[in-house]
Amino acid sequence: MAEYPLWRPATKDLPRNHGGMQFEKGVEDLATKAVADSVSTSPIVPQELSPEVIPIFVRDFPLYDMIRKVPSNGLSHTFQQQTAFSQNATPALISETGTVSDDVNTYNRQTSNVSVFGVRRGVTLKGKYAGANAGGPGSDLAGRELEGGLLTIARDAQNVLLRYQDVDSSATTDTAANGRYNVHGFNGLRYVLQNLAPSANTITVDITSPWTDQRVLKAVRKGVNQVWDAGGKINLLITNTTGSEAMFEDQLSLVRYVDDKTSEIIPGHTVRMISTDQGLIPVLVVPGGALGTYVGAGSHTYSDIIGVDTDTLEMPYLGNPTPSVLRIPIGTDGSLRELVIPFAMFGLACLAPQYMFRVGLETAA
């Protein structure tokens, strides 16, 4: 773990629900009656993905491996969101025989919907047999479809985590400041930063025209310092290629030669780092569509650089902390197809929104 500072894998000691649950037993019974099997168990029961398949999921959704997974306490996960760690600004000093005074944290009760991500993928038996005869890449068409399904779930999960929400039903576009509404989603980082984080934690920078004053890098450092002064510590920056290029171009003019610092934050994923007063902070670059843009103050278009303390984020899950696969018996639906349903169920709990910030890059007036 010391080699990968932000790695929080789904460990084997987390609770998993594969078989034995009453509702899953009902599914087994239905499947057994639908098709003949060798004994009494149908292959429709959920199966955990093998370890070598998980990197396919993480490849397009590296944030999954950087957030702690916890079992959800309901269909919607309820958690205590800490907004302050003390009620006093002055030191809690007492005399030698004095009595200590009371002090408490401040909390808000919040909930996160546990969203269900799933797609059905398959291949006809005719195509499967033809692929087997052809050999090469076509010999495992079903496996390639399963991989595509996993990448689809990874893309969708990352998009929801960054820019969707389930509160404001009037936000029906991708450029909504609160994040796009989906009743089956959960509140992602854009919504949290817009509504739950302190307003001072949003710093806007105009990059609609060329600049020479390191404004982007200075704004990022300002956000990091504000969180530090409030008692937190940013350990990850999330942005798209626009934000990344702006930051590193600003930093480049401050050094006499190119000396990019990098960090392998999770196995197989190396990123560049930005220098701040609190040390080097890794920059995770996600596809532009994952982070998206939004219309903010003055009807201007913005794209974010988001700073988070990953220790204050949790991913509540139901079923299994890793994606699972339902393998549907051939012929169950009356057609000659091999079908699989990769799926995952999780949400997002932001335990301390005051320990995150964003730099809103104004990209269009």
pLDDT in tens, 257-285: 555 688 898 888 899 999 899 899 999 99
Average pLDDT over residues 78-105: 80
Over the stretch 46-86, which tens digit does the pLDDT of each residue have?
Answer: 556 655 567 777 888 899 999 999 999 999 999 988 777 77
Q: Is the pLDDT of residue 27 over 50?
A: no
CB 348 within 8 A of CB 117: no
**This prediction's pTM:** 0.84
**Could you tell me if 353 and 107 are in contact, meaning their C-beta atoms sit under 8 angstroms apart?**
no
**H or E element at residue 285:** strand 279-285
Q: Give the span between the Cα atoms of 353 and 41, in whole angstroms.
A: 46
Of the chain, the percentage scoring pLDDT greater than 70 comes to 85
Query: Among 21-30, 193-202, 237-246, 290-299, which is the least confidently predicted range?
Result: 21-30
Return the CATH number of 49-85+110-364, one of 1.20.1050, 1.20.120, 3.30.450, 3.90.1690.
3.90.1690
Cα–Cα distances (Å) from 79 to 14, 65, 109, 197, 287, in that order, read 18, 21, 6, 16, 30
Locate tokens 């087994």: which residue?
A: 28
Provide the 8-state DSSP code for 298. Answer: G
Whether the per-residue pLDDT at 26 is higher than 50: the answer is: no
First to last CA, the chain: 44
- The DSSP secondary structure of 211-275, one letter per residue, reads --S-HHHHHHHHHHHHHHHTT----EEEE-HHHHHHHHHHHHTTSSS----EEEEETTEEEEEEE
In this structure, what token pair is assigned to residue 298?
Answer: 């003055």
CB 362 within 8 A of CB 205: yes
- Which ranges of the chain does DSSP label H, i.e. alpha helix? 22-34, 54-60, 125-134, 141-163, 189-195, 215-229, 241-252, 288-291
Strand, coil or helix: what is 330?
coil
DSSP per-residue string spanning 10-50? --TTS---SSS-HHHHHHHHHHHHHS--SSS--TTS-EEPP
